[in-house]
């Protein structure tokens, strides 16, 4: 594959549309029985963790890859965490996991699957309410990982019940819906991101093993994934690498540490940075509680009611060391409320001043292993402080792809979906009516494409994450087996993908998903596969042009009527055929093809081949099938 003028081409010169899934949600946790990652013991003995078996056991690999290929998902985003590679300690790589990955990737290649590796993290690590970094990254800063929840420095699904015993929830599990993103507003994750990206600027005197903390953390991260690449680089299935999933700015850019400036959205306690800093250093702090609409309520929640210090003896808060605050008679006093506001004398811009240098460093180091690989670049998660896409220019490394993410925020955070209703969170505007909701979804993705065209030198775009909670609407579909609403939601999302001719990888495919435990991480349940079966397949198993002998123009799929239409401009210089994926569930013996060019329908392969035969000009293909999924 190669990139030419914002398009990804194959060796025949055909324009590719890459479509697949994130593999998988369970890879955020070490391998264990279903539900194990939701229990407190999963955070014990971090050095002994093993990710062998993620994304699925080796003896299941063939069946899973065959299923994905049959679904037309031949380009996957393969989730690997830093913890999976280096949980034992700095430089102690898990060679057993790397050997397992190599075997998985060899099977993927045999089954016609390509992947790009996703160095995945959410809110820094499992110990700070997400996944990604090893526990020792926190411990080397002097943090006691057993006290992260108790001090309010993090909120974890595994330990939530220990500190909120008085709360009762209808499902019997004391964990609020979609609470985990609130960790971006808490001390541990915000501090680690600030040190990782901005340690040299905001804590110039803080070092580990003789290096500034920023260089030390980034160096360990890049070395781990470079070692991974060296072990896997001749695996034919690997088409590229991500840099970091949904990087975050931490405290960087805040103008006033006493205010929660543009915090991540979820309901619950919302401490200011100064609240979070004081709580982590042994002070009980009342944080205001916000509702799901982002409005402050009359309630508050006490962070660190036991007044414990997060730091082990001999350590203290790095921001105290940097002179941001001080103890005066046992009382914390803020000395520099705008400490994180500036960079080199001007307003700090996280994406330009911190994320971009790290991205360039990562790519230049990884290119030493392979000059020709693709690199998938992401911005900050939607709703985060200062969220933006990165910038890229003609002098930056080639073979870059803008791999932005998008979710229907209302459906994701409330676990409800109505095809005629959603909310634009940027404007707090209600969107009413099916056509308007569909147009809004398409507009959201079009904005990502526009950014790439105007700010990233027109590099290709891939929608790296989007999806739907299958346990929405109070888990009703689990009881009545009616996934029609899920199918409609997913169809609307994919309609937006098609309208923008986007490459895409839906979130996600979790091989051991169950209705009881979902994806096994923070009560999320977005897997299109569960308990051995595909879910709502009519919403995501749909026809699309895999390779076009020319330039794509428009893709339209009506799943209610089973009609697919594709328009493109044929290139007479390309002898290889246009290849359209036609899922067998829709296109059987009654399939009818209308086209001005010679066609060959290969039902067993689920492919329609269309030959230019020297023709140049506009082509419209119509294929009629029937819904055989009902």
Quick: pLDDT tens for 589-611: 889 999 999 999 999 999 999 99
pLDDT at position 170 is: 39
Residue 286 lies in a domain: no
Q: What is the dihedral angle through the alpha carbons of 33, 37, 40, 43, rounded to the nearest 10 degrees?
A: 110
- 356 and 402 in a single domain? The answer is yes
- 491 and 559 in a single domain? The answer is no
CA-nearest of 268, 302, 297 to 284 is 302
- 536 and 556 in a single domain? The answer is no
- 144 and 185 in a single domain? The answer is yes
Cis before residue 267, ω within 30 degrees of 0?
no
Residue 155 lies in a domain: yes
Q: Which residue has the tokens 């099938």?
A: 625
Residue 288 lies in a domain: no
pLDDT at position 589 is: 87
Considering 514, 540, 566, which residue would you say is the last residue of a domain? 540
pLDDT at position 387 is: 58
CA distance 15 to 3: 10
* Domain CATH code at residue 361: 3.20.20.80
pLDDT at position 624 is: 96
- 99 and 183 in a single domain? The answer is yes
- 465 and 604 in a single domain? The answer is no
pLDDT at position 168 is: 46
| Exposed/middle/buried for residue 36 (C-beta within 10 Å: 0-12, 13-18, 19+) | middle
- pTM of structure: 0.96
- 494 and 603 in a single domain? The answer is no
Residue 269 lies in a domain: no
- 561 and 437 in a single domain? The answer is no
CA distance 471 to 467: 12
Considering 521, 540, 559, which residue would you say is the last residue of a domain? 540
pLDDT at position 532 is: 95
* Domain residue limits at 482: 2-253+343-540
Q: Measure the N-to-C terminal CA separation of the chain; round to a whole number of Å.
A: 37
CA distance 491 to 471: 17
* Domain CATH code at residue 587: 2.60.40.1180
Residue 232 lies in a domain: yes
CA distance 471 to 450: 33
- 588 and 521 in a single domain? The answer is no
CA distance 562 to 559: 5
pLDDT at position 172 is: 43
CA distance 44 to 91: 21
Residue 503 lies in a domain: yes
Residue 293 lies in a domain: no
Q: What are phi and psi of 125, to 5 degrees?
A: -160, 175
- 382 and 524 in a single domain? The answer is yes
Cβ neighbours of 328 (radius 10 Å): 9
pLDDT at position 484 is: 96
Which stretches in the chain have pLDDT values below 70?
165-174, 264-266, 293, 369-371, 382-387, 627-630
- 471 and 619 in a single domain? The answer is no
> Which residues, other chains included, contact 616 with Cβ-Cβ below 8 Å and sequence gap of 6+?
569, 570, 571, 572
- Please give the tally of structural domains in the chain: 2
Helix (H) or strand (E) holding 495: helix 484-499
Considering 540, 569, 590, which residue would you say is the last residue of a domain? 540
- 39 and 176 in a single domain? The answer is yes
Residue 307 lies in a domain: no
Q: Which residue has the tokens 């955020």?
A: 28
Locate all alpha helices (DSSP H) within 210-310, ordered by sequence. 213-232, 273-280
- Length of the chain in residues, anyone? 630
């Amino acid at each position: 594959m190669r990139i030419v003028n914002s398009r990804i081409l194959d060796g025949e010169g055909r324009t590719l549309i890459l479509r697949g899934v994130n593999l998988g949600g369970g890879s955020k946790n070490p391998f264990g029985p279903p539900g194990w990652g939701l229990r407190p013991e999963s955070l014990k003995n971090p050095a002994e963790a093993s990710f062998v078996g993620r994304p699925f056991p080796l003896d299941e690999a063939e069946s899973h890859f065959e299923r994905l290929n049959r679904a037309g998902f031949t380009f996957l985003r393969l989730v690997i965490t830093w913890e999976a590679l280096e949980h034992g300690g700095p430089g102690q790589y898990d060679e057993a996991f790397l050997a397992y990955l190599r075997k998985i990737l060899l099977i993927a290649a045999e089954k016609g699957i390509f992947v790009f590796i996703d160095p995945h993290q959410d809110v820094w690590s499992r110990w700070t309410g997400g996944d990604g970094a090893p526990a020792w990254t926190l411990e080397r800063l002097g943090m006691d990982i057993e006290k992260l929840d108790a001090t309010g420095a993090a909120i974890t699904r595994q330990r939530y019940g220990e500190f909120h015993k008085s709360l009762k929830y209808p499902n019997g599990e004391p964990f609020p819906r979609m609470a985990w993103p609130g960790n971006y507003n808490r001390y541990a994750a915000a501090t680690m991101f600030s040190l990782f990206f901005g340690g040299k600027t905001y804590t110039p005197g803080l070092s580990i093993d003789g290096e500034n903390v920023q260089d030390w953390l980034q160096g360990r991260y890049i070395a781990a994934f470079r070692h991974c690449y060296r072990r896997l680089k001749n695996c034919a299935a690997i088409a590229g690498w991500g840099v970091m999933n949904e990087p975050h700015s931490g405290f960087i850019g805040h103008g006033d540490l006493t205010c929660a400036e543009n915090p991540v959205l979820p309901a619950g306690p919302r401490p200011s940075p100064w609240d979070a800093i004081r709580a982590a250093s042994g002070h009980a702090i009342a944080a205001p509680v916000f509702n799901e609409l982002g409005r402050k309520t009359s309630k508050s929640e006490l962070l660190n009611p036991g007044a414990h210090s997060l730091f082990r003896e001999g350590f203290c808060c790095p921001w105290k060391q940097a002179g941001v605050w001080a103890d005066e008679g046992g009382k914390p006093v803020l000395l520099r409320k705008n400490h994180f506001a500036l960079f080199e004398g001007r307003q700090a811009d996280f994406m330009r001043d911190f994320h971009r240098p790290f991205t360039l460093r990562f790519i230049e180091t990884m290119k030493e292993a392979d000059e020709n690989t693709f690199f998938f670049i992401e911005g900050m998660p939607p709703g985060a402080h200062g969220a933006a896409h990165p910038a890229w220019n003609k002098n930056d490394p080639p073979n870059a792809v803008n791999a932005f993410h998008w979710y229907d925020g209302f459906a994701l955070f409330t676990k409800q979906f109505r095809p005629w209703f959603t909310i634009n969170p940027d404007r707090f505007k209600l969107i009413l009516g099916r056509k308007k909701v569909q147009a809004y979804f398409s507009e959201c993705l079009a904005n990502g494409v526009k950014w790439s065209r105007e700010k990233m030198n027109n590099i290709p775009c891939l929608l790296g994450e989007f999806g739907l909670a299958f346990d929405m609407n109070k888990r009703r579909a689990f009881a009545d087996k009616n996934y029609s609403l899920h199918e409609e939601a997913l169809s609307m999302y994919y309609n937006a993908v098609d309208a923008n001719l986007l490459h895409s990888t839906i979130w996600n495919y979790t091989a051991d998903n169950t209705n009881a435990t979902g994806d096994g991480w923070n009560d999320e349940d977005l897997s299109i596969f569960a308990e051995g079966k595909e879910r709502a397949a009519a919403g995501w198993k749909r026809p699309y042009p895999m390779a076009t002998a020319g330039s794509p123009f428009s893709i339209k799929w009506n799943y209610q009527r089973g009609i697919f239409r594709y328009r493109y401009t044929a290139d007479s210089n390309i002898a290889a055929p246009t290849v359209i994926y036609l899922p067998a569930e829709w296109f059987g013996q009654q399939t009818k093809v209308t086209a001005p060019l010679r066609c060959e329908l290969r039902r067993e392969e689920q492919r329609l081949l269309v030959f230019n035969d020297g023709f140049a000009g506009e082509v419209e293909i119509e294929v009629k099938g029937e819904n055989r999924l009902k």
